[in-house]
Amino acid sequence: MAGEDRSFMARLARDVRGNTLAIGAAAMIPLIGMVGGGIDLSRMYIVKTRLQHACDAGALAGRKAMGGGTWAQSNYAPRLQAERFFNANIAPNAYGSNSIIKAYSETAGKVSGTASAVVPMTLMRVLGRTQETVSVACDAEMRLPNTDIMFVLDTTGSMARPIPGDSDIKIDALKKSVKCFFEIVARLDTDAECSGGAPSGGTGDQVQIRFGFVPYSTNVNVGRLLKPEWMADNWYYQSRWPSYTTSYGWVQTGQKPDNQSASRTNVPENYCTKANAQALYGQPYRETESGNTKTGTQTEVTNVTWTNTNGGTCSGVIVTTTTTFERRPTGQTFSTWNYGATSAMDPQAPDHQNANRLPLNGWTRLDGTRVPGLKNSDGTWASGLVLPIGNDGADRFLTWDGCVEERQTVRTTSYTPIPTDAKDLDLELTPSSADVSTQWGPVLRYAIFQRSSRSTSPAITNTNNWSLTPLQTNDNGIANGPNYFCPTAARKLQSYDSATDFDNYVDSLRATGNTYHDIGLLWGARLMWPTGLFRSENEYTDRGGEIDRHIIFMTDGETETQAYDYTAYGLPWFDRRQTSTNSAPNQTTLNDQVNRRFAALCTAIKNNPKGITLWVINFGNGTGSATKTRLQNCATSPDYFFDASDSDELEAAFRKIADDISQLRLTK
């Protein structure tokens, strides 16, 4: 039996048919490791991917909740929002994982997050790997593209009043809203108390963020932003020109003596005297006139001497002096005023007359001190100029506050499309010094006199006795200085390194004047137009980057015009540059002009090929349905129109726009 066992074992040892079983058994361990590793690695990848998505979602949500405020605002509400979004995007035991940990923090406006999860191994356990930890990181920040933002702000008189039921004056609510907008976009802390806490960090130097302002009411204050050569040297005003009575007198123009020697003999010494010689040869002064010339002559004997020769010789010099004169003006005395459409202009300049100027009889030309007096030789602007319009023709210094009269326009009731001759509505046209119709003129309030059909001065807002007929009178008291408002000076697009300058400018806004929406939107677009007056500054960044452009137009309501307002188109009752020459315009006609031109400008802005987003905010509860519709149609789309009934809603509208402009971007 024992021999048989040994024989079996020997045969088995020699039998190779069982090798496959042994090799297969030995190969199972690495095979399980390879297959299990693939399965477990796939699970780890899926968990990590899901973990990354959750981390990113939380970072985005936290940064968006933070907005323009701080990480700690509202008891760390942004952090809680981040954690909620994280939890919503990954289950507690996703794909068999456990011990999921997340953490979010904020530095300089950037929200950073980390997350990890433990993934238990399955088949990899045979190789001694029981679990693995996967980790991810994520960042999110408000990263702007290069952005230009132009505020076109209604600063008319109605903004000085509160909305019924609202404790804030409207202009004050506007100032706060604009500052809070700035905090969100620029990430700089203003002096306003904005919801969300104080921002910090700025936007860095890798992106260009610029803000511009066009406050508007009856006019816009843009003159000192323009190059002097863009302002005409010749402009027409409803003014006055003095006539003078001239005094004339004789003015000596020359004098010539003629000397002749003379002598007589046989003259006693006591008789040889100057008196006797003068009586014999001299002639008294006498004059002869011929037209505007006069000649005077006089003969005098000089150097009389006696010598003892030839019975006594008396000698002397006979001097005949001829003096010439001309009749010339010697002075002027004020005589009368000529009231009418006059020009303050260069006497050597051609007499430009814009195509749309009202053709009145009695145009007078005011020479002398000229509009170029505003232009300093170094290319800067003077504070004013002198015109001879003071009492009795005296020189008077007129301060220029910076508002301008518009260039050539047209008289029409349709601006669809904008007429070619309406150069005032051309947003790209750069003025030419050779074509005054492309240039602007300075608004000079006290160059304007509202001439009346009677000798007494009417009130500046009472047009009943105004007359188109040129007036001659020696009355110095004709109404001077029309109803006029010039808002705070506009600002071109610029970057702000700190909030102080921004705060100071916004605080300088003042509410005054009537409501001319078209002139505000016109210059808001003109100052940021990428291919217009300031193309070199606006088309691209200094580094050649593309720019996102936004106009934020805010108004508290209805168009409000008057025929007696001194506007960018002169004094409408007299000048009639936009309306029929047959009769004085009324408020309805002028309002319609403003509204039609405003709508045409909205369309032009939205059609800009380089893209300008037009946001429109209506503020308050005094706006009619027709105006609201017009404002809504002006916006890029209805989603870009806001109807804010009170101060809180105004701030919310600006905040919403700021959040939308501050596009959220993942950085990791």
pLDDT score of 197 more than 90? no
Does 424 reside within a domain?
no
Helix or strand or coil: residue 7?
Answer: helix
644 or 362: which leads in pLDDT: 644
DSSP 126: G
pLDDT score of 359 more than 60? no
Mapped to the 3 state alphabet, what secondary structure does 585-652 carry? CCHHHHHHHHHHHHHHHHHHHHCCCCCCEEEEEEECCCCCHHHHHHHHHHCCCHHHEEEECCHHHHHH
Cα–Cα distance for residue pair 663/554, rounded to 1 Å: 22
Per the omega criterion (within 30 degrees of 0), is the bond before 417 cis?
Answer: yes
Mean per-residue pLDDT for 405-434?
A: 96
Mapped to the 3 state alphabet, what secondary structure does 265-327 carry? CCCCHHHCCHHHHHHHHCEEEEEEEECCEEEEEEEEEEEEEEECCCCCEEEEEEEEEEEEEEE
Angle between helices 517-528 and 587-606 (to 10 degrees): 20
Place of tokens 């996703």: 94
Tokens of 436: 């005054």
- CB-count exposure of residue 162 (10 Å: 0-12, 13-18, 19+): middle
Q: Are 480 and 571 in contact (CB under 8 A)?
A: no
| Residue at which a domain ends, from 142, 174, 200 | 142
Cα–Cα distance for residue pair 140/207, rounded to 1 Å: 17
What mean pLDDT value characterizes the chain?
Answer: 88
Verify that 126 and 193 share a domain, yes or no. no
Task: Write out pLDDT tens, residues 294-311.
Answer: 999 999 999 999 999 999
Does 438 reside within a domain?
no
Cα–Cα distance for residue pair 430/533, rounded to 1 Å: 6
Cα–Cα distance for residue pair 128/121, rounded to 1 Å: 9
What CATH number has the domain bearing residue 164?
A: 3.40.50.410
Task: Write out pLDDT tens, residues 327-358.
Answer: 998 888 888 888 877 654 333 333 333 434 44
DSSP 349: S
pLDDT, position 138? 94
| Residue at which a domain ends, from 483, 511, 545 | 483
pLDDT score of 550 more than 90? yes
Does 462 reside within a domain?
yes
Cα–Cα distance for residue pair 517/594, rounded to 1 Å: 7
Give the residues across from 221 on adjacent strands: 403
Verify that 464 and 556 share a domain, yes or no. no
The closest alpha carbon to 296, from 284, 309, 287, belongs to 287
Q: Are 382 and 223 in contact (CB under 8 A)?
A: no
Percent of the chain exceeding pLDDT 90 equals 66
Verify that 294 and 332 share a domain, yes or no. yes
Cα–Cα distance for residue pair 174/617, rounded to 1 Å: 11
Verify that 391 and 267 share a domain, yes or no. yes
The closest alpha carbon to 550, from 603, 614, 608, 600, belongs to 614
* Range in 68-72, 169-173, 352-356, 599-603 with the lowest mean pLDDT: 352-356
Cα–Cα distance for residue pair 298/441, rounded to 1 Å: 60
Cα–Cα distance for residue pair 42/48, rounded to 1 Å: 10
32 or 428: which leads in pLDDT: 428
Phi, then psi, of 458 in degrees rounded to 5: -80, 170
* Range in 100-114, 313-327, 365-379, 605-619 with the lowest mean pLDDT: 365-379
The closest alpha carbon to 86, from 110, 65, 109, belongs to 65
Task: Write out pLDDT tens, residues 134-146.
Answer: 999 999 987 778 9
Cα–Cα distance for residue pair 480/192, rounded to 1 Å: 42
Q: Grade residue 42 by pLDDT with cuts at 50, 70 and 90.
A: confident
Q: Grade residue 364 by pLDDT with cuts at 50, 70 and 90.
A: very low
- Which of 40-45's residues contact partners 24+ apart within 8 Å by CB, and which partners? 40/119, 40/121, 40/122, 40/123, 40/124, 40/129, 40/132, 43/95, 43/96, 43/119, 43/122, 44/119, 44/132, 44/134
The closest alpha carbon to 627, from 563, 529, 553, 567, belongs to 553
Q: Are 137 and 103 in contact (CB under 8 A)?
A: no
Q: Grade residue 220 by pLDDT with cuts at 50, 70 and 90.
A: very high
pLDDT, position 260? 94
Q: Which domain holds residue 271?
A: 233-401+444-483
Q: Grade residue 432 by pLDDT with cuts at 50, 70 and 90.
A: very high
Does 4 reside within a domain?
no
pLDDT, position 361? 35
Q: Are 441 and 405 in contact (CB under 8 A)?
A: yes
pLDDT, position 109? 77
Q: Return the number of other C-beta atoms located less than 10 Å from residue 242's C-beta.
A: 20
pLDDT, position 474? 86
Helical segments of 488-612, H only? 499-507, 517-528, 535-538, 572-575, 587-606
pLDDT, position 538? 97
Verify that 551 and 587 share a domain, yes or no. yes
Q: Return the number of other C-beta atoms located less than 10 Å from residue 399's C-beta.
A: 11
Verify that 529 and 457 share a domain, yes or no. no
| Residue at which a domain ends, from 81, 112, 142 | 142
Does 573 reside within a domain?
yes
Please state, in angstroms and as integers, the Cα–Cα distance from residue 518 to each residue in 214, 444, 536, 560, 636, following that order: 12, 21, 25, 11, 17
DSSP 169: B
pLDDT score of 386 more than 70? yes
Q: Are 387 and 345 in contact (CB under 8 A)?
A: no
Chain-centroid distance, C-alpha 607: 21
Tokens of 81: 């929002």
Number of domains the chain is built from: 3
Verify that 503 and 645 share a domain, yes or no. yes
Verify that 477 and 489 share a domain, yes or no. no
Verify that 585 and 489 share a domain, yes or no. yes
pLDDT, position 496? 96
Does 197 reside within a domain?
yes
Please state, in angstroms and as integers, the Cα–Cα distance from residue 16 to each residue in 9, 13, 19, 23, 556, following that order: 13, 8, 6, 12, 101
Place of tokens 């400008």: 601
The closest alpha carbon to 564, from 495, 641, 483, belongs to 483
Percent of the chain exceeding pLDDT 70 equals 87
Tally DSSP H helices, then E strands, for the chain.
Answer: 12, 20
Does 159 reside within a domain?
yes
Cα–Cα distance for residue pair 92/83, rounded to 1 Å: 13
Largest interatomic CA distance in the chain: 210
pLDDT, position 342? 67
Phi, then psi, of 610 in degrees rounded to 5: -90, -5
Which range scores top for mean pLDDT: 230-239, 261-270, 465-474, 483-492?
483-492
Verify that 468 and 501 share a domain, yes or no. no
Verify that 171 and 312 share a domain, yes or no. no
Q: Are 198 and 70 in contact (CB under 8 A)?
A: yes
Cα–Cα distance for residue pair 127/427, rounded to 1 Å: 75
Does 409 reside within a domain?
no
Verify that 474 and 488 share a domain, yes or no. no
pLDDT, position 6? 60
Helical segments of 146-273, H only? 170-186
